Structures are given as structure tokens and as C-alpha cells.
Structure 1
Amino acid sequence: MEKLINLYKQWAGEEPADVIKLAGQGSNRQYFRIIKQDGDTVIGVIGTSRDEDHAFVYLANHFNLRQLPVPKILAVSDDELCYIQTDLGGTSLFDAIKGGREAGGRYNQKEKELLKKTIRELPNIQLRGARGLDWSNCYPQPEFDVDSVLFDLNYFKYCFLKPTDLDFHELKLEANFRLFAKDLTSEKMDCFLYRDFQARNIMLDENGNPYFIDFQGGRKGPFYYDLASFLWQASAKYSFKLRRELVWEYYQSLKNYTEVPSVRHFVHRLSLFVLFRTLQVLGAYGFRGYFERKKHFIESIPPAIQ
């Protein structure tokens, strides 16, 4: 904390009026809202991984050069373990669509428009964000490849399949995993794969325009991954009709940035990534539920499968 305050004083030339710790964001990083003497605010971040922080700072600076809707980096410590960024406010897309989620997926028109506005902006960061990007700065790896796919598939096998005592042919499953990994990585794209594109990582301004945060795990990869991550989140409870509308919005927006495949090919490829994301999620829920005995994750398994 002292290091962050010193960084703020070097940048602002004054003591902060107040510092408020923000709720955890599901990572080891600590976030603080720093209130300036004039009442304006900035966000201070204390990280635990230099490589992860470096990835975020590099990507944020690169995206800002591309005039993409992300926070601006204002100051970084010499060891890159803390930094100061612009404050995008306190309203996330997750908060803004809470009503529809709690109503079992019955989203009102305003909530649907926020979702459409967000999904239309996704190709912007994926395609324009990839231009001129030095992938060697990405963390923990520069590209979505066969090894990373197999890691996630084996995580599913050991953390979900095996603890459930389901009977399966392990050698045949491994062979299928290798074929699946080869298929998922068969189309090379010069595209930014966000990796953690979800409603919690999208902030909204007063006009409902989306701003993106927490993209430090991003890498080079196919654009289908983020679309599958966002629309097939079990907790969101999107209806089939709404999901189809949002896929269409994305497909139409994608045309503004690159040559798109046929609808048939697009839907086929997307379905592969939906399956992959489902297996990833089940692996994570299996670990949290079966091994860490967290009830919430055990209860989350049936809707994830559905």
C-alpha cells in the first residue's frame, strides 16, 4: 500500500484525500479507488505477478493507441507491481443486467440493448486491437495453441470426469482430445483472444457505452472463443432466442473489421468453441466443488451442462 501511495504522490504531486479498497475481482490483485484533493478519482492496483502486470500495462497502452475503450495507464512503479489507471466508475455490465439474470433470463429491452452494444464492440478490440500488437508481451503465453487446449481438456478429465466415477475409455478419450485440440487450432487468425470476456469485466459509462478491463490473460487466437465465453455463461441464463440475436449482432459487426466466413461455417466453428468452453467450465467447477468442497460450484454444474 505504501508503494502505491508513493507512486500516486509522484504522479499527482500531492497526498490523496482518501483511499478506498474495492471488493475483490476474483484475482490476487488489490484494487483501490484513490480520491484526489479536487474530488476526482483514479484506480490504484497492487499486483503479485510482474509478468501479469506487465501484460496488462502493455495491452492497455497498445489499445489506447488504437483508441479502444479501455482504461488509460497513468503511472507505473519501477518494478511494475503497482500502477495507476483511470477510473471507469462503479457500474459493470454484470450489475446493469442483474434484473434479467435474477428473473431467470427474462431480460428487458434496455438490458438487451446493453448486451447488443457490448457484443457489437467485441470485434473492435479483437481485430483492431490485434494490429501491431507484440504478442511476446502476453501472459502466460502468446498464443492459443494445442498445448493450452490439451491442458484445459485434461483439467476437465482429472477435476470433473474422474471424481464423478463415470466410466470412460481413457485412451480413446485422449485420442479424441488430441483431434479436438487440432481442430480448435486449425484456423490461424491475427486476432486478440480476450480469454476472460464476461459481464463483470465490462464497465459502462453514463451513456451505457462499454469499456473493457481485466484483459491481461489475452493472447493471439480465434475470435470464436470470446463469443462462446460470453454467450454460453450458465449464470447469465440467456434464452436461445436472445443468444441467437446476439450471435447475429456479432457476426454483422465482425464484417466491419475482417472478411467473414459463411454463416454455416461460422456457426459450426462457434459450436466447437461452445463445447470447449463448457468442458473448461466443468473442469473449473469440478475442482472448486469436488476438491475444495464449495457448495456454490457443485450447484452450478447442472446449469453449466444444460
Structure 2
Amino acid sequence: METITSGIAQLWEETFGKQPLSISKLPQSGSDRLYFRVFGEGEKTAIATYNNHLRENATFLSFTRSLLTQDCPVPRILAVNETGDTYLQTDFGDISLLNILEKEGYSDHVFNLFKQSLSRLAQLQIEGDSSIDYSQCLTAFEFGKQAILSDLLYFKYYFLDTLKFPYDKQALLDDFDALSTYLTRTENKYFMFRDFQSRNIMVEQDNVHFIDYQGGMKGALQYDVASLLWQARADLPAEWKDRLLEYYIEEASRFLPNPLDAALFTAQYNGYVLIRLLQVLGAYGFRGFFQRKAQFLTSIPLALRNLQQFTGHSRMGISVPEFDRCLQFCASAEVINRFEPLRAGPDSPLVVSIQSFSYKKGLPGDDSGNGGGFVFDCRGILNPGRIETFKIQTGRDKAVQDYLEQQTSMPDYLNSVFDIVDITVSDYIKRGFSSLQVNFGCTGGQHRSVYAADALARHLRNKFGVKVQVKHREQVFND
């Protein structure tokens, strides 16, 4: 990490003639890219991106420069280093459209921000298309039949097949082929953002700006609109979706040589909504079932309820009977209930006591009379305490947390811990038990065990709503 920040500081000095005042690492998203906020004199700031996927960087930089020629709301590139793994871009702040939605709810202000986003999207898609060099695309240059089939198969292999639902394989594949052919028969193919969600829309002084479009390619206008309006976490009301779709059709028609056919556009839009919903479920299944990342499993119920709403009210203008049968099963209460975590009600007596400790000082005792509980040994994780700058810090300091999350196997370790503890917590809630103890030990009880104990506490509170008590035996802070 020190090498990366040194490189950022050097790039800043080469660009602005002075060393930055400070560099602060930003929370990491689902990608491997690392983001930093760089502070300079006179309140000057910029976002620094480090990414050793050089082809992805080249794509983002190419798309950005092209879109800026059409006055699209994307960041300016301030500097790129010689190796191409680090660049500086405009800082739009920390507030996304999703943040404002979660804070304000379904207010007029939020609705107008969605309208502004769709208007600027239409401009980016249609006017931006004329300047895009599609040879720079990361994968295929067009979201055509093969790309649609790929998303459908992604859903099939990583989600549908995990449900063990009996279906006619050949009939389903035939339906996939028919749907993908139908959706590619559109005259309106322009630049497709590919991941147009409210978390990728930054809001600064009530103006929207777009980030993270390096996955873009040529494709149907409907896909990006579907991505925004049907984002599971946003959970927009049906009335908003209908009104915003009508607004987008009007706005896109302003940029096109001929107005859109609203009925045809909407029928194909519904098909792209379905593709997007299934692509998300496939991603959740892959990250959750196969990569064992617990946070993705907890997102599945919301995505399924989104699918349930869609299958109950939308029509695509094409008959795909076996596919419809599979979708009805996926959106059924039976399947949704499989993924809904058991929640501890207000009357649940269960209290989970989580403790960090040092093996040098012995195992923790158990005052509940149950004789103890889980004990997890964190000493197999690389020890931040061996690094000079971390010696006086703990697992609650950001620098230590970044090290454990990005340079050790702690994330995989915790996913396995979550799987084991979740079984017992669920069972104890059902049986009305009152006490469970979980302990994390490391050499000094300062870094790894502290981080792991806090992480499990957050996980159990979020997933089960259970009462949690945290004690860091060798430290002075406790919850």
C-alpha cells in the first residue's frame, strides 16, 4: 500500500508542482480497483485510482475522453502515470444518488434527481455514441445475442441450477435463444453504460455525474434504463418506474432523428429488465454460493422480490413457456423463504457474547454456566503487529483494517466463520436459547482477533437482528 500511495504522491507532484497534503484511502467496492482521495493546497482534491488491470484502465480513459467531447457528465482525467496503473480524476464527493434516496426516501427531490439522471443518460448514450472507439471495449464491442445468452446462462448455472428445480433443459435453451434473438432486433443501438445504477451516479450541488462505465459497449437503449429503475437496493415504487420510463422515452426522442415507438420500446424494455434482474441473481449466486461471500447471499431475497414484482405485472411480447415456468418458481414464496434469514424478534432471549483475546494470557472463561462456546484461532492470518507502523494500532484502526482486508486471507477466513456460527445462531433463535459465546484469539489480542470479533458482531446484527455483546479482553474499548 505504501508503494501505491508513494506513486500517487509522485503523480500529484508532477501534475501540480507540489506534494499533496494527504492521501486517504476510500472504501473498496466490488472490484479490485483501489480509490484514494488526494488533498492539496487551497482545498484542491482529486480521486486517485490504482488498478493493475491496464486494459481496463485504458478502456475507462478512452471512453472518458470521448464522452467529454460531447459534454457528458463524467470526470475529467487530470493525469495518468507512465505505467498506466494510476490516474487522477475529478472528485465529485462522496454522495451518490443511492445515498440521497436512502436518506430522504421517495421525495420530490429524489424523483427529480432520477429524472435528471435519465435525461443525461439519454445524452450520454446517443450523443456520446458518435465519439466512442468501440475497439477499446473490454469484452465484446456489442451487447448482442451472444452477450444476452451469456447473461441468461450465468443465471441458469449460478442460481437456477442451485435450486434443484426440475425443468426441460432443451426447452429452456430454446426459450433463451428465442428471447435473445427478439431482444437484439432493435434499431436503437447506442453506447450502453452496462452498470447504470444509483450508486454509480454521484450528486454534487444537485447536479448528477456518472462513474464506473468501463464495462460499456454498444447496445440497446433499454438496458441502462432497466438497470437504474429496477435496481434491487433502490426498490423504486411501481408508479415511479412507470413515470420515469415515460420521461426517458420523451428525453431520448429529443436526441434521435425519429421519436421512439413507446409501445415497442416498452415491450423490449421489459425483456431487458428481465435480463438485468437475472444477471444480478446470477452474480449474487456466484459470489454467494461459489465464492462464499455472505453479504451477497443476504441480497438474494430483495432481488427475488424484484423478480416477483416483474413477473406479476410485465409482459415481453414473446412466448417463452419453459422459461416462464422457471421464473414463476424462482419468484415463489417457497424460494424467497429459503433465502430470508431468520430474525430474532424483540422478545428473543438470545444474547451472543463475542470476545477477542490473547493466547499468551489463556482462553476466556464463560460466566453463563454453559462451559464456553466457539474459539477461533486467528494466528493463521498474517500479523499486522509485525509491521512497525501498526504496532501501536489495533484492529479498529483503518490502516490495520485495510491491511487485513486487502493483503491477508482474513475475508475468506471470516466467510467460513460466518457459515459455522450462522447455523448455531439460527438454531438457538428457534429453540429460545439465551446465550452463545464466540471467541477470537491471536498472539497479542490486539489486531486480528479485534478485527474478527467486530466483523462477526456486525454480521450477526445485520443478518439476524440478534443482541450482541462485544468484549476485547486485552483492550480498553468494549461495546
TM-score (norm 2): 0.60
Q: Post-superposition, which runs of at least 4 consecutive aligned residues in structure 1 deviate over 6 A?
A: none
**Cα pair distance change 1:277/1:289, threshold 3 Å:** same
Q: Is the 8 A contact 2:253 2:260 kept in 1?
A: no
**SS of alignment partner, residue 34 of structure 1:** strand
Map Cα deviations across residues 262-285 of structure 1 (whole Å, 9 max, x no partner).
221111011111111121112112
Q: Look up the match of 1:104.
A: none
Q: What RMSD over aligned residues (CA atoms) do the two structures have, in Å?
A: 1.5
Task: For structure 1, list consecutive stretches of 5 or more residues without a partner in the other structure.
Answer: 102-106
Query: Are 2:100 and 1:96 aligned?
Result: yes
**SS of alignment partner, residue 256 of structure 1:** helix
Shift in Å at residue 294 of structure 1?
4.1
Equivalent positions of 1:173-184 (< 5 A) are: 173-184=172-183
Q: Is the 8 A contact 1:16 1:37 kept in 2?
A: yes
Equivalent positions of 1:134-173 (< 5 A) are: 134-173=133-172
- The amino acid that maps onto 2:224 is D
Q: Is the 8 A contact 1:75 1:85 kept in 2?
A: yes
**SS of alignment partner, residue 236 of structure 1:** coil
Q: Look up the match of 1:33.
A: 37
Instruction: Decide which moves more: 49-58 or 7-16.
Output: 7-16
Q: Is the 8 A contact 1:203 1:211 kept in 2?
A: yes
Q: Is the 8 A contact 2:191 2:217 kept in 1?
A: yes
**SS of alignment partner, residue 211 of structure 1:** strand
**Cα pair distance change 1:99/1:86, threshold 3 Å:** closer
Map Cα deviations across residues 177-227 of structure 1 (whole Å, 9 max, x no partner).
122222222225441100010011111111x11111111110111110000
Query: Are 2:27 and 1:23 aligned?
Result: yes
Map Cα deviations across residues 9-59 of structure 1 (whole Å, 9 max, x no partner).
111111111101111132111111111122210111101211110011111
Query: Are 2:115 and 1:116 aligned?
Result: yes
Q: Is the 8 A contact 2:194 2:217 kept in 1?
A: yes
**SS of alignment partner, residue 142 of structure 1:** coil
Q: Is the 8 A contact 1:202 1:211 kept in 2?
A: yes
Q: Is the 8 A contact 1:160 1:282 kept in 2?
A: yes
- Report the Cα distance in structure 1 between the residues aligned to 2:29 and 2:187, rounded to whole angstroms: 32
TM-score (norm 1): 0.93
Q: Is the 8 A contact 1:130 1:190 kept in 2?
A: no
- The amino acid that maps onto 1:48 is N
Q: Look up the match of 1:213.
A: 211
Q: Look up the match of 1:13.
A: 17
Shift in Å at residue 78 of structure 1?
2.1
- Report the Cα distance in structure 2 between the residues aligned to 1:100 and 1:37, rounded to whole angstroms: 34
Alignment equivalent of 2:66, drawn from 56, 62, 65: 62
Alignment equivalent of 1:228, drawn from 226, 245, 249: 226
Q: Look up the match of 1:254.
A: 252
- Report the Cα distance in structure 1 between the residues aligned to 2:217 and 2:99, rounded to whole angstroms: 27
Shift in Å at residue 108 of structure 1?
1.5
Instruction: Decide which moves more: 279-288 or 293-302.
Output: 293-302
- Report the Cα distance in structure 1 between the residues aligned to 2:85 and 2:270, rounded to whole angstroms: 39
Query: Are 2:48 and 1:44 aligned?
Result: yes
- The amino acid that maps onto 1:112 is F
- Report the Cα distance in structure 1 between the residues aligned to 2:18 and 2:103, rounded to whole angstroms: 41
Task: For structure 2, list consecutive stretches of 5 or more residues without a partner in the other structure.
Answer: 309-479
Q: Look up the match of 1:129.
A: 128
**Cα pair distance change 1:295/1:132, threshold 3 Å:** closer
Q: Is the 8 A contact 1:189 1:220 kept in 2?
A: no
Shift in Å at residue 261 of structure 1?
2.7
Q: Is the 8 A contact 2:72 2:120 kept in 1?
A: no
- Report the Cα distance in structure 2 between the residues aligned to 1:46 and 1:71, rounded to whole angstroms: 16
Instruction: Decide which moves more: 296-305 or 216-225.
Output: 296-305
Query: Are 2:203 and 1:199 aligned?
Result: no
**SS of alignment partner, residue 143 of structure 1:** coil
Shift in Å at residue 140 of structure 1?
2.4
Q: Which has the higher contact order (CA 8 A, sep 6+)?
A: 1
- Report the Cα distance in structure 1 between the residues aligned to 2:189 and 2:132, rounded to whole angstroms: 10
Q: Is the 8 A contact 2:189 2:221 kept in 1?
A: no
Instruction: Decide which moves more: 186-195 or 271-280.
Output: 186-195
Instruction: Tell which structure's C-alpha radius of gyration is larger.
Output: 2
Map Cα deviations across residues 236-295 of structure 1 (whole Å, 9 max, x no partner).
111111111111111111111012332211110111111111211121122223334444
Identity %: 35
